[in-house]
Structure 1
């Protein structure tokens, strides 16, 4: 029973639960960003490039063929369009995380303690003393 209770204690710690929630939210956020890139950002980019579906862009290294046994040998293609989509998704996610961390850091910063006013220069102190003497 010791290992089971130890595991239960580990699994119920706040950090583990927070991590699990973060992973689930992160996965959902990744799907949202994927949809944003594939369905909102890339179609206008493809239209600007001449009506090309960017996700299907690639360089064919070897065309599909049929071997001697009659089996189809698939083409070898470098899919740079899908890679560019993934890079754009990464940039969007990284920027969103940056904004989130930046906001959290702003809330965690301690407010700056007011600085003590700097001592006035010596000539100002002398003039004040003279003024006070003259008033008397």
Structure 2
């Protein structure tokens, strides 16, 4: 029983779609890190400079201040709505989604060009007509 389940799992895991999906997830994770760095390190600093040096991730609405002991140790952490982090994450998503859109569009263009190159040209009308006449004569005999 255990051997049969292991065989089924092996067949499932070695299917092309599963392997392709795993590769896609790994590459997607790495691509996400690259785009996050692009946003955080290259795009956001000039935007922050344009809007007065504001760092989006520091934008928040405080709900409760942190409580400290007499020794200066934090007893209760501050509570805040970190909407700046949400804005930053949303901007990251938009840039990642746009980058993937451009990549898919480029791949589709190459795929379409290959199809057009591979498609054989239709024979001229006179050749097609002669072929039909030949086929009709063969069928009469």
RMSD across aligned positions (CA) = 2.5
Aligned pairs for 1:3-82 (under 5 A) are 3-66=5-68, 72-82=75-85
Counterpart secondary structure, 2:46: helix
Unaligned runs of 5+ in 1: 116-136
Out of 90, 94, 112, which is 1:91 matched to? Answer: 94
Counterpart secondary structure, 2:5: helix
Deviation at 1:104?
A: 3.0
Counterpart check, 1:103 vs 2:103: no
TM-score normalized with structure 2 length: 0.69
Instruction: Give the structure 2 partner of residue 2 of structure 1.
Output: 4
Measure the CA separation in 2 of the matches of 1:71 and 1:107. 58
- Alpha carbons of 1:97 and 1:71: their partners in 2 closer, same or farther (altered >3 Å)? closer
Measure the CA separation in 1 of the matches of 2:110 and 2:55. 43
Deviation at 1:18?
A: 0.5
Instruction: Give the structure 2 partner of residue 122 of structure 1.
Output: none
* More deviation, 28-37/95-104: 95-104
TM-score normalized with structure 1 length: 0.71
Q: Is the helix fraction higher in 1 or 2?
A: 2
